[in-house]
Structure 1
Amino acid sequence: MWTKLVPVTALIASVALTGGTAHAEPTTPIGGEALGSRGLVAPTGVRKPPKSKATAYVVADADTGEVLAAKDPHGRYLPASTLKTLTAVTLIPKLDKNRKVRPSHNACNQEGSAVGLSPKATYKVEDLFRALMMSSGNDAAMALAETNGSLAKTMSDMNAEAKRLQANDTVAKTPSGLDKPGQSSSAYDLALIARAGLANPDFRQYISTKTARFPAPKGYYEISNHNKLLWRYDGMVGVKNGWTSKAQASFVGAATRGGHTIVVSIMRHEGGFWDEVTQLLDWGFSVRGRTAPVGRLVDPLPASALAAPQQQSAAPGAPNASASPGVSVTPAAQPPLLDTAASKQTDSTRTVGSLVIGGGLLFGLIWLGYGIRRKRGRPRL
């Protein structure tokens, strides 16, 4: 009995002494060392990026992948409807855009923003993608998920796509972005996902359409894109905005000028961010090619690497990364909302807690083994 018990107890003791994990500690954050900071990360030698009330943001060159400036880029926050960007990137290659769909009552009755799907009408898949990215239709998100086979399959596909893109801060729990426990993304990931979408012509067409005729049970009606910058900002391509009371405002957008595309993502903004995004885009165009990047939007993983262990982004509670030459790092005032509880734990509290739990399990298994041994030694009556 004891020879069988020792390996189990040794494993528990090992897990307890390593803080309750059986994997290696995270290494360099995805995109570069400086992007591990929760404060402002900006290049030196050029004017600083304009101020923003967003808790987190990223300004990047979508063509080269160079991150030009960032604030808490890997902080994990509720994404709201910006998560629909991942829904589109995942499902556009999987679904025939000319396929006709009659949505379920479940899809038509989704809460929150909706395009107004009816179970009595038939829609093309491309109509549903327009509704998803233009009108932020939660009903369209569910209809697309069900067209892909099922909600469960779609969530699995979306999270697999996030891993392929190395959007490791992103956990999708809904196809619409409606708040759900455990769901998260980051400003870095939103920029990364948007960049992947911009490479797809259908994605670009859906996000850049200002108005479109949308099918109804009898005839059509007009829908309009929620991205106000399509009317206000020269060269705006589009992408997606979002809002819930818990997530607050979020946005990811891209614009092209002079043959170059800049992408900006923001998270957890109190609202009224359009002018700030405009200023961040202007700043991005003004400094691109004139300064060293502070990080990089990484390329997707090759298929052969998907089964291998992946590099992790900065762990919750990690200290601010030290600045590289040509990079200014400003400490953050507070950690991300979803990381607050984890960041309040110190190494000592994690270790003590793990030792208490691990030690209790170890003692319990030893005592169980002792009792079984004694029981085996008793004569049977």
Structure 2
Amino acid sequence: MKHVAPVGVLLAATTFLGAPAHAGSVAAPAGTEPGSVKPGGARKEPVGGPRLGGRGVIAPTGVKAPPKTAAESYVVADADTGEVLAAKDAHGRYLPASTLKALTAITLIPKLDKTRKITPSRRAVNEEGSAVGLVPKPLYTVEDLFKALMLVSGNDCAMALAEANGGLATTLADMNAEAKRLQAYDTVAKTPSGLDKPGQSSSAYDLTLIARAGLANADFRRYISTKTDKFPAPKGHYEIGNHNRLLWSYKGMIGVKNGWTSKALGSFVGAAKRNGHTVIVSIMRHNGSFWGDVAGLLDWGFAARGKVIPVGHLVDPIPDPPPPTPTPPPVKAPVAAPKAVETAPHEESPPVGLYVLGAGLLGGVIWMAYGLRRRFR
């Protein structure tokens, strides 16, 4: 009983002050590095390693430093091994602009039938920003919309695909769930297109995770590496071209996605393959033309991979939970037969003839006694 009073005082103080009553729900302290807080709020090591929590340039020793860039954040990684070769403010949270469409694509590609016909809504057709020029007619397949999403950054296509997936709210929930599955905890999707919206964010580290996941999908790779294609129109078709300039100018470029808005500035995530090895570069918040900077970082990545101690690593997606084991139906216990009630054995009544015989004998005895008595008189 001596411990009751202190516990009661603690609970009362907890209620009064509004503090959490369970352990492990520690609010993130001021100055916590991005990417170093679990979704539940508990502080932990930055995703990918402790060095990736820094905000300055983080580079390996023993090799030439990465080329300078005007980007406020970047990551250079080996896609094959998952090694982060160099970084700058890897977990800094910034507006992603259209690079967020890479998350839209990897979320929806497995969910939508590529051959399905789509009639875009008026809302999708009138979506602001970059567009492929949809009309509200059943001209397009899901395949067409994915191509235009990744080639010409069609915001109208992003909305049409979201509507085909059950609506905007459903799609955003799916995108944010996919980000968590990839452990891209800096990423919050508020739009499927990447158009600026309060609360929306990503990081160079997360964009690298998303790109790496996309490269594992054959359809995603096909969309991002297509240079030009034909797009349906009310009268025939017209040609569309990929906005990623490095597809034409950089040796081994696979593609992925570029983006720009006046608030986000320039952003880009791209992958290239040389001599059987793939390097990914992500940059964010670049105020200017970033194509040369990206090419320089890719060159440095190919030269450094396999020769340096990495500064961090790309984490793997969270494994899907195993399917539930079928529960066998409960075995019913056999129903016991009703137990026979034992009763005392019935004594059989003497047969009626026996009574008659006894009565006859008794009568005979009496008659003989009566006769003998008269005789002796």
TM-score interval (norm. to shorter): 0.7 to 0.9
Q: Deviations along 1:279-301, whole A, 9 cap, x unmatched?
A: 10000000100111110010000
* Larger RCO (alpha carbons 8 Å, 6+ apart): 1
What's the offset of the Cα at 1:78?
0.2
* C-alpha distance in structure 1 between counterparts of 2:59 and 2:27, whole Å: 36
User: 1:36 corresponds to which residue?
Assistant: 53
CA contact (8 A) 2:73 2:87 kept: yes
* C-alpha distance in structure 1 between counterparts of 2:286 and 2:75, whole Å: 13
What's the offset of the Cα at 1:12?
4.7
Q: Deviations along 1:25-78, whole A, 9 cap, x unmatched?
A: 321100001000011110001110000000000000011111000000000000
Q: Please, which of 11, 14, 27 is the counterpart of residue 10 of structure 1?
A: 14
* C-alpha distance in structure 2 between counterparts of 1:23 and 1:197, whole Å: 27
* C-alpha distance in structure 2 between counterparts of 1:4 and 1:222, whole Å: 73
User: 2:108 corresponds to which residue?
Assistant: 91
Q: Please, which of 57, 71, 76 is the counterpart of residue 59 of structure 1?
A: 76
What does residue range 238-249 of structure 1 map to in structure 2 within 5 Å?
A: 238-249=255-266
Q: What SS is found at the alignment partner of 1:215?
A: strand
What's the offset of the Cα at 1:13?
2.5
* Cα pair distance change 1:236/1:24, threshold 3 Å: closer
% identical aligned pairs: 69
1:171 partner amino acid: V
Q: Please, which of 154, 157, 161 is the counterpart of residue 171 of structure 2?
A: 154
Listed as ranges, the gaps of 5+ residues in structure 2 are 1-6, 29-38, 323-377
What's the offset of the Cα at 1:217?
1.2
CA contact (8 A) 2:26 2:43 kept: no
1:285 partner amino acid: F
| Correspondence 1:231 to 2:241 | no
* C-alpha distance in structure 2 between counterparts of 1:145 and 1:113, whole Å: 16
2:54 partner amino acid: S
CA contact (8 A) 2:186 2:202 kept: yes
CA contact (8 A) 1:134 1:207 kept: yes
Q: Flag the structure with larger Rg.
A: 2
What's the offset of the Cα at 1:5?
11
TM-score normalised by L of structure 1: 0.76
User: 1:132 corresponds to which residue?
Assistant: 149
Listed as ranges, the gaps of 5+ residues in structure 1 are 306-381
Q: What SS is found at the alignment partner of 1:256?
A: strand
What does residue range 100-249 of structure 1 map to in structure 2 within 5 Å?
A: 100-249=117-266
Q: Deviations along 1:345-366, whole A, 9 cap, x unmatched?
A: xxxxxxxxxxxxxxxxxxxxxx
CA contact (8 A) 1:61 1:262 kept: yes
1:15 partner amino acid: A
CA contact (8 A) 2:27 2:42 kept: no
CA contact (8 A) 1:121 1:216 kept: no
Aligned length: 304
Moved over 3 A (4+): 3-9, 16-25
User: 1:274 corresponds to which residue?
Assistant: 291
TM-score normalised by L of structure 2: 0.77
1:200 partner amino acid: N
